[in-house]
Amino acid sequence: MASYGMLIDTTKCVGCYACRVACQMQNSLHVTDSFIHYDEVEKGTFPNVRNEHVPLACMQCKDAPCVSVCPTGASYINADGVVLVNSERCIGCKYCMNACPYHARIQDQDTGVAEKCRFCILADDGSVPDPACVSTCITGARIFGDLSDPNSDISLAIIKKNAKPIAGDLTASKVYYVR
């Protein structure tokens, strides 16, 4: 069984927001809503200063706190390890939103459902294309793939670039960062 994850190389990210716009379009989100938000971190000392753009979204935790607090089972982890939401079961209680240490959930303005990044897994046929944020990234700062395959592009890049989860061992995150 696959275990999908993502690597985000902040040394390549230019903060163009293409990933965010592509995600909004793919998921039909309101212009004010997004599954991706950015932290900007100033690095260096004068005169050698630069801004680091850190795109943040759902970390697809193996031990997802949002899943464990959901009273209806609307938040769940599928067979490929992706944290998903069953919109028909969600009652909009926001427990998952409060439990997420990454603040990665939003509430749909029309339905009240607590939504989040799902790696663009929308197809019922089990196919998993590159997420919209990956395929639209102009600098190639994102890699998506199967973490359980040691020869996958993402597994090799994590080792080569010494990528780490953004918050260490806070949760068993499957999104890795190069910083």
Which residue ranges make up each domain of the chain?
4-178
Per-residue pLDDT tens over the stretch 101-150: 999 999 999 999 999 999 998 655 556 678 999 999 999 999 999 999 99
Tokens 């607090």, residue? 69
Per-residue pLDDT tens over the stretch 148-173: 999 999 999 999 999 999 999 899 99
User: Checking DSSP bridges between strand 175-178 and strand 4-9, what pairing results, if any?
Assistant: parallel
What's the sign of the alpha-carbon dihedral 64, 66, 67, 69? Answer: positive
* pLDDT level of residue 21 (50, 70, 90 thresholds): very high
Other CB atoms within 10 Å distance of the CB of residue 166 = 18
In terms of Cβ atoms closer than 10 Å to its own Cβ (0-12, 13-18, 19+), residue 38 is middle
Given a contact cutoff of 8 angstroms between Cβ atoms, the answer to whether 154 and 128 are in contact is no
Which strands make up the sheet holding 142-146, listed edge to edge? 142-146, 4-9, 175-178, 164-165
Q: Residue 96 pLDDT > 80, yes or no? A: yes
Determine the average pLDDT of the residues in 63-84: 96
Q: Residue 91 pLDDT > 90, yes or no? A: yes
Return the CATH number of 4-178, one of 3.30.70.20, 3.90.960.10, 3.10.129.10, 3.30.365.10.
3.30.70.20
pLDDT at 121: 81
- Cis amide bond preceding 65, omega within 30: no
Per-residue pLDDT tens over the stretch 40-56: 999 899 999 989 999 99
